[in-house]
Amino acid sequence: MRPQRTFPGRVGLQQRVLPTYRASFFDMLAANCEGGLSIFAGSPRTDESITTTDQLRVAHYARGRNHHFFNIVSPFYICWQGGLLKWLNDWQPDILIVEANPRYKSTQAAVEWMHRRNRLVIGWGLGAPPISGLMTAWRKAERNRFLTSLDGFIAYSRRGAQEYHSTGLPPGRIFVALNAAAHRPTEPPPKRPPDKKGSLTVLFVGRLQARKRIDLLLQACSLLPQILRPRLWIVGDGPERESLQDLAKSIYPSAEFPGSRTGPDLEPYFTGADLFVLPGTGGLAVQQAMAYGLPVIVAEGDGTQDDLVRENNGWRIPPGDLTAMVEVLSDALSDVECLRRMGVESYRLVVEEVNLEAMVDVFIEALCSVTGHIDT
């Protein structure tokens, strides 16, 4: 279902990179911007393992030239996007949405460009988590200076919205668009027997890289009592695949690695699983799993998991905690009826709260509210 509102103006949206999973969202958003939507984005560092696209069906795409300074995980990482001001001059947006990240220095120049023309800028981000380490006071001041230059904020999560508010930003300018990668389901979830006999099936879907901590999932499964050990599907590809397969051979040889699957080829894994597990960071596949009526186990992270995973549809565990992973897996795989109830709640959450349609609706609300096209 499309949002009831549209935004009457022309919108520009800056991204450091354009991940493939965002394409559907941007096209949906563009369809609700009457003046059009243009996305400005560059390329990631070669070591980031981000799958990007330049194929948009409704939104316009403008390629930037990203210049990266320092490693992406460094607190001093900086990105400068060449061509950003030229794009603004060519596109002439009525309002601009930017990633709310002060480390993208060209974005600050874009904010100033918009404000000199009496146009507004909305920041979109994870929030403003605590800063620690080297030069903490300076980094906090830089972040606060950048955030206070923006005219509104869209947070990925409720925790992120609270963090923005804690920095002194007024709540009336903060909107929460729960992070989504899948549409609102139109079909009922798969029917799963409430009294399934034999081994249950645990599923992971995602890129096989170190930060996903699939090694932790393999170790946890190997430490379960024999009667609870699940069939384990690890769906995806990536730089860690070979080492993970070697690990599985030594500690959990029944684990299956079917490789990368997308679209219809991925559906049998979601329908055939009983439980979805994300042991590391990232993971918009969690929402996909919930759309198939699966309960979920996730490692706590940036706050987006708080909105997706609640006590009625899954478990959140401390990142990197093997003991907690074993305990939660044991509890989950011991009670099939509980898993089925949680799966029903997962499906309800995706239908009612966490989907692309709801995300677009919040963006349109934020655009209209900040520019005064609707009552705040």
Domain boundaries, the chain: 11-180+355-371, 201-352
In the block, tokens 């645990």 appear at: 202
**What does the pLDDT average to over 106-112?**
97
CA distances 119 to 95, 96, 113, 250, 370, Å, are 6, 8, 9, 60, 11
Partners of 41 in the β-ladder: 63
Determine the 3-state secondary structure of 165 from DSSP. Answer: helix
- In the predicted model, what is the mean pLDDT of residues 208-229? 96
pLDDT of residue 170: 87
Which amino acid would we find at residue 244?
L
Which residues, in sequence order, are bridge partners of residue 231?
A: 201
Rounded CA separation 184/350 (Å): 6
- pLDDT for 3: 45
CA 320 to chain centre: 20
Vertex 134 angle, CA 133 and 135, to 5°: 120
pLDDT given for residue 133 in this prediction: 87
Residue 2's pLDDT band (boundaries 50, 70, 90)? very low
Say yes or no to pLDDT of 376 above 70. no
How much is the average pLDDT of 89-107? 97
More confident residue, 169 or 31: 31
Task: Kindly report which listed range (30-34, 65-69, 169-173, 199-203) carries the lowest average pLDDT score.
Answer: 169-173
Label residue 56 by pLDDT band (50, 70, 90): very high
Give me the architecture of the 201-352 domain, per CATH: 3-Layer(aba) Sandwich (3.40)
CA distances from 72 to 47, 100, 299 (A): 9, 16, 22
pLDDT per position as a tens digit, 300-337 = 876 667 788 999 999 999 999 999 999 999 999 999 99
Over 253-285, what HEC string results?
Answer: CCCEEEECCCHHHCHHHHHHCCEEEECCCCCCH
Average pLDDT over residues 47-60: 90
Instruction: Give the model's confidence band at 231: pLDDT under 50 very low, under 70 low, under 90 confident, else very high.
Output: very high
- Average pLDDT over every residue of 4-11: 91
H helix or E strand, kind and range, residue 299? strand 296-299
The span from the CA of 111 to the CA of 96, in Å, is 8
pLDDT digits (tens, 9 = 90+) for 268-291: 999 999 999 999 887 678 999 999
pLDDT at 226: 96
Please, which residues bridge with residue 19 across strands? 52
Structure tokens at 315: 């478990």
Dump pLDDT digits (tens) for 116-137. Answer: 999 999 999 999 988 888 899 9
Instruction: Inform me whether the pLDDT recorded for 1 exceeds 50.
Output: no
Confidence band of 163 (pLDDT split at 50, 70, 90): very high
CB 286 within 8 A of CB 355: no
Segment 290-300, tens digit of pLDDT: 999 999 999 98
**277 phi/psi in degrees, rounded to 5:** -130, 130
Return the pLDDT at 71: 86
* pLDDT interval class at 4 (50, 70, 90): low
Contact in structure between 328 and 346 (CB atoms under 8 Å)? no
> Of all residues in the chain, what percent carry a pLDDT higher than 70?
97
The least confident of 78-87, 146-155, 193-202, 241-250 is 193-202
Query: What is the dotted CATH code of the domain comprising 11-180+355-371?
Result: 3.40.50.2000
pLDDT, mean over the chain:
93
**Is 7 a residue whose pLDDT tops 70?**
yes
Give the pLDDT mean for 32-46: 96
What is the pLDDT averaged over residues 239-245? 95
pLDDT at 344 over 90: yes
